Structure 1
């Protein structure tokens, strides 16, 4: 996802979600792929841990990263 990582700060990819918070537009695959690159990096979201074992600070950093880059 080099294109997403290289975006200027403030550039956003609009993602529409349904009532359950699930992405529903044609850009949702970009979000899914971006989240995959973040999780595989291990910096924000180590994939070897269950989500409920990830510390709150890491969760907040991941959510902030997603808001900035998407």
Structure 2
């Protein structure tokens, strides 16, 4: 049973979207954590925790976005 070959056009589109959307989501999430830490004048350690939590939320958002994108733009 042979697998269908990769559709390189769809694959390159998905890689480009992952880079673009991933950069936007993670950077925006990280900046939100930094801004909240500064706004509430939190301790630097607490501010870093906010940044990490928000960045992880951005990565989770990217995962769900890419999962949906692969469904609509199959690579095989």
What is the TM-score when the length of structure 2 is the normalising length? 0.34
TM-score by length of 1: 0.35
Please say which structure displays the higher CA radius of gyration: 2
Question: Structure 1 or 2: larger helix share?
Answer: 2
